[in-house]
Amino acid sequence: MFTGIITDMGEIRAIEQRGDLRARIASGYDMAGVDLGASIACDGVCLTVVDKGADWFDVDVSAETVSKTNLGTWAPGRAVNLERALKVGDELGGHIVSGHVDGLAEVIAVAGEGDSTRVTLRAPAELARFIAPKGSVALNGTSLTVNEVSGCDFGINFIPHTKQVTTWGRVAIGDQVNLEIDTLARYVARLAEAG
């Protein structure tokens, strides 16, 4: 489990296609404290550390994960949002995030709004019903509050701090973004269907 509070911005060092995709990610984490087999959310996708060095770790990405996320677009030099798994007693500053991406949202508009940036995204129709104004979503692993919803489109504001410490400072129209809907929204919808 994760909180959606990004704790490092890593960089893809290498990509290798094996039976699965192998990615090497440079990180500022103290890798002495990261065990092999540990989970790290990489752009919102829960991945397992399979090898590590002083300032990097490797993950394997299955074909299924590549088909459901934006990880197939990873290339050396690309920045990625990173978050280590939640530990008992950690502050829950965002919302409960599983690292299981539900689908891809597309950035359809980017506009300055004071010092912040307003980003409008389009969710797949089957996921849009789970997105509500003032509700939570995880986008590329970042816990965010939804400002408004219109059909499949929804808006998010990014404050300067978020743009500095995550990849959101580099957002562009057309970007495909990993979308994880709020777990609570999923269960509320399921209960409403059953009732």
- 103-194: same fold as 8-84? yes
Instruction: Name the nearest CA neighbour of 138 among 84, 184, 81, 97.
Output: 97
Sheet holding 136-139, edge to edge: 142-145, 136-139, 176-181, 103-113, 116-122, 153-158, 148-150
Give the Cα separation of 179 and 129 in Å (integer). 13
Confirm if 70 and 177 have CB atoms less than 8 A apart.
yes
Instruction: Name the nearest CA neighbour of 8 among 55, 52, 51.
Output: 55
Classify domain 103-194 by CATH number: 2.40.30.20
DSSP code string of 49-99: EEEE-SSEEEEEE-HHHHHHSSGGG--TT-EEEEEEPP-TT----S--B-S
- Measured in degrees and rounded to the nearest 5, phi and psi for residue 134 equal 70, 10
pTM for the model: 0.93
Give the Cα separation of 26 and 52 in Å (integer). 10
pLDDT tens digits for the chain (195 residues)? 899 999 999 999 999 998 899 999 999 999 999 999 999 999 999 999 999 999 999 999 999 999 999 999 999 999 999 999 988 777 777 788 999 999 999 999 999 999 999 999 999 999 999 999 999 999 999 999 999 999 999 999 999 999 999 999 999 999 999 999 987 777 777 777 776
The domain spans of the chain are 8-84, 103-194
Give the Cα separation of 193 and 184 in Å (integer). 14
Is 3.40.190.10 the CATH classification of the domain at 8-84?
A: no
Report the amino acid identity of residue 57. F
